[in-house]
């Protein structure tokens, strides 16, 4: 029985802000990607999960405010997968995107002159991508160790080979320093998505009732995620090199050359602080599509069991 004074009908399964608008989604993702969430202890995460689960069951601690409930909801969302409910790997959480990407991208752009450096940082980058993709996958189907291993080896091998090819190619372009720095970084090779394309992702009706798994929904989800990731990385790889080229001509960096790397990492981080939530906000996380766009056999199944359903919904992942 409710014992607190906050409203009983708050839908904490959904974000606090209107997700039909870009501004609402941006507010939501600025909260989701807040790096400060990484500093929360296991006890704080468990407390947030208890508050959220209790509220869904109609139980509210005395004195809990609406703002505190929403704060608990966002702490819970930052650490637990929306479909499986499992606690996510720390570096795979969206709140780790800014500090991890600023470090990796900054290092990739700083240490690009030798083959061992290119190989090492591409391996680090794709290892991180593999963790992020697995952690933020859409759906709740289990992924085997074999599938994870295949995806990881394919991604790292493809990324390193492409990076080395671009590195060799750009040697013939005098003065194309920026291209050389960034070309080897713009790699989005996600074999982990193969499983979703093959078996589909869960789809539901508006009330959350599961209707099946759809490969068509997976195709839409993956396209949106890849576009968001590409645009998310672009400012951090395009803007800092121009600034660094200007700074390198000034006396300060000539006098303190060791400052080049930390300045570049800081510039990348500044770009990512804004690019990460704004690009995540390009598409609603709870995406949808008309039943008529699904696979024919799935359309027939839904029309037979749920004839009034015209649109289906799914978690597109991040």
pLDDT at 174: 39
The string of pLDDT tens digits covering residues 114-158 is 778 777 887 888 788 778 777 776 655 566 667 667 767 776 776
pLDDT band at 11 (very low <50, low <70, confident <90, very high): confident
Domain residue limits, the chain: 22-87, 91-315
Of 117, 133, 106, 90, the C-alpha closest to 228 is 133
pLDDT value at 98 more than 70 = yes
What pLDDT, in 10s, does the model give residues 269-290? 888 889 888 988 898 888 888 8
Q: What is the pLDDT of residue 143?
A: 62
Rounded distance, CA 206 to CA 286, Å? 10
Q: Are strands 286-290 and 311-315 parallel, antiparallel or unpaired?
A: antiparallel
**Which token pair is 115?**
């083959």
Answer yes or no: is pLDDT of 291 > 80. Answer: yes
Average pLDDT over residues 223-246: 82
Distance CA 114, CA 106 (A): 16
* pLDDT-above-90 percentage for the chain: 7
User: Which position has the token pair 């492409």?
Assistant: 162
Looking at residue 104, what is its pLDDT?
82
- Degrees (nearest 5) of the Cα angle 245, 250, 255? 110
Residue that wins the pLDDT comparison between 24 and 153: 24
Average pLDDT of the residues in 155-182: 55
Q: What is the pTM of this model?
A: 0.69
Check whether 74 has a pLDDT greater than 60: yes
CA atoms within 13 A on the CB side of 209: 8
What's the pLDDT at 70? 92
Average pLDDT, integer, range 5-26: 85
């Amino acid at each position: 029985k409710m014992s607190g004074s906050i409203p009983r009908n708050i839908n904490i399964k959904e974000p606090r802000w209107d997700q039909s608008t870009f501004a609402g989604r941006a507010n939501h993702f600025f909260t989701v990607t807040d790096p400060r969430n990484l500093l929360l202890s296991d006890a704080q995460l468990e407390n947030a999960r208890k508050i959220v689960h209790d509220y869904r069951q109609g139980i509210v601690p005395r004195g809990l405010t609406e703002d505190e409930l929403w704060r608990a909801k966002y702490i819970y969302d930052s650490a637990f997968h929306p479909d499986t409910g499992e606690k996510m790997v720390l570096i795979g959480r969206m709140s780790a995107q800014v500090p991890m990407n600023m470090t990796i991208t900054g290092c990739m752009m700083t240490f690009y002159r030798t083959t061992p450096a290119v190989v090492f940082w591409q391996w680090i980058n794709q290892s991180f991508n593999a963790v992020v993709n697995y952690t933020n996958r859409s759906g709740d189907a289990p992924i085997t160790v074999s599938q994870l291993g295949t995806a990881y080896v394919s991604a790292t091998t493809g990324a390193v080979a492409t990076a080395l090819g671009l590195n060799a190619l750009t040697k013939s372009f005098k003065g194309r320093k920026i291209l050389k720095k960034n070309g080897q970084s713009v790699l989005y090779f996600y074999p982990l998505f193969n499983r979703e394309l093959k078996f589909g992702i869960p789809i539901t009706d508006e009330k959350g009732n599961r209707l099946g798994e759809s490969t068509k929904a997976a195709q839409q989800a993956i396209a949106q995620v890849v576009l968001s990731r590409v645009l998310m990385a672009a400012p951090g790889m395009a803007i800092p090199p121009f600034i660094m080229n200007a700074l390198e001509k000034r006396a300060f960096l000539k006098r303190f050359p060791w400052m080049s790397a930390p300045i570049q990492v800081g510039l990348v981080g500044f770009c990512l602080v804004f690019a990460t939530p704004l690009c995540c906000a390009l598409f609603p996380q709870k995406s949808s599509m008309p039943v008529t766009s699904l696979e024919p056999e799935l359309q027939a199944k839904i029309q037979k069991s749920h004839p009034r359903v015209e649109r289906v919904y799914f978690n597109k992942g991040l």
